[in-house]
Structure 1
Amino acid sequence: MFLSEQCAKQQIVMFAKSIFERGLTSGASANMSVRIEDAWVMTPTNTCFGFLKADELSVVALDGSLMSGLPPSKEFRLHKAMYDKRPNDRCIIHLHSTYATALSCLPAANNSNVVPTYTPYLTMRLGPIAMVPYFAP
């Protein structure tokens, strides 16, 4: 079941603010989208999760054209590719959390398995998580 456009906008603003206030992202380093029946509601490009306004959110048609609001996140194509691959998904949150970014700057003891095994479930579910070298965008 799809949310209405207005409900999707309210949900994005509410959850984005919560993510921002908990310090899980800062600045304009995150984006979110919610699939509605015939479009996506998405955070606009260069916006901060802590200061979103529902009426400025982007509404983007399934073909990628802007229907209303500010221009969508520059990560729109990433969201579209995920929705195309997983059509039953209804929301995507993409962020560069403060803590994950800081962790990624630390030297790893083993580049083929950089995340410590805090629980057996993590290892069973994900297996080893490797680090790739930095590449400029």
Structure 2
Amino acid sequence: MLYTTPRSTEDALRWQQLRIGSAAWEGWPLKFQRMAFGYYEESGWLTAAEGLNWMREHDRLSLSTPPRGGLAWFESNDRVTVFCGVGDGRVIGPGVAGVVGLAVQTDLTGYRGWSPAVFPFAR
């Protein structure tokens, strides 16, 4: 099934790159990604953990390197966070410290897989 988002992948990545260095998104990795892709109302998931569980239940996770625009899910110490694939194994989003930045996917712990940028309940 093909999913489209209000913002294209390239526009979503530009939106995120403009926020590199911002600590305003601490604790809101899912909201950050949802808004990057152009959804401004809640996704229907209260936490990134709920989003990851939905992706698992709907067989949307792939264990390969996240492609450009794919949501990269991480789970470590009972904390789930989500980044966006930039390409070449890099991801962008609010990291564990809550500051938006770029990271290499393999340098982060707890990779659970990537999914398409799907927010099935968002508007």
- Alignment TM-score, normalising by the size of structure 2: 0.29
Q: Which of the pair has the greater relative contact order for Cα pairs under 8 Å at 6+ separation?
A: 2
Q: Which structure is larger by alpha-carbon Rg, 1 or 2?
A: 1
More helix by share: 1
